[in-house]
Amino acid sequence: MALLNILRYPDPRLHKVAAPIAQVDDRIRTLAADMLETMYAAEGVGLAATQVDVHERLIVMDTSEKHDQPLVLINPELIAVSDEMMLGDEGCLSVPTIYDKVERHARVTVKALDRHGQPFQFEAEGLASVCVQHEMDHLRGKVFVEYLSLLKRERIKVKMIKRTRDEQRP
């Protein structure tokens, strides 16, 4: 397994739309394992392939308290969403240390393939619901800051560019 590089906002590659995965094979299973290792190392609860510059419909997540219940979602689809909405703080491994309120569906039903290519579906609520919606946005080329006002987005963009520049200085 290997740690992957997580793209940082405002990297334009974060806005690429991910393509469906035609075949679940060893390459996809290795990518999922590497993404899980990367997500855990970065202390995240979810990671989309788009964030590691692979533009295919793959998400990994683990919202369990002990971080011992990894989920691999290949070609995920939302098949039902609640009318009830919830407003909560969101963060993103591609926008480190930035958190802001985003409104999401309180409950969702998701259909996907697992790491063996077998179809399954599950219902998510609370943090798991927010996480899967957030990661599916990444697959559509959308970063959570795009839910914020233009002024907030611009401030975050400037802050992220400056931080990246400062980190690259010797």
Query: Locate tokens 């035609």: which residue?
Result: 22
Active site residue 135: yes
**Identified catalytic residue from 123, 135, 154, 167:** 135
Do 92 and 130 contact (CB within 8 A), yes or no? no
Task: Please give the torsion angle defined by the CA atoms of residues 165, 46, 143 and 108, in that order, rounded to the nearest 10 degrees.
Answer: -170
Residue ranges of the binding site: 92, 134, 138
- Residues at the binding site for Fe cation are 92, 134, 138
Q: How far apart are CA 161 and CA 98, in angstroms?
A: 13
As annotated, the active-site residues are 135
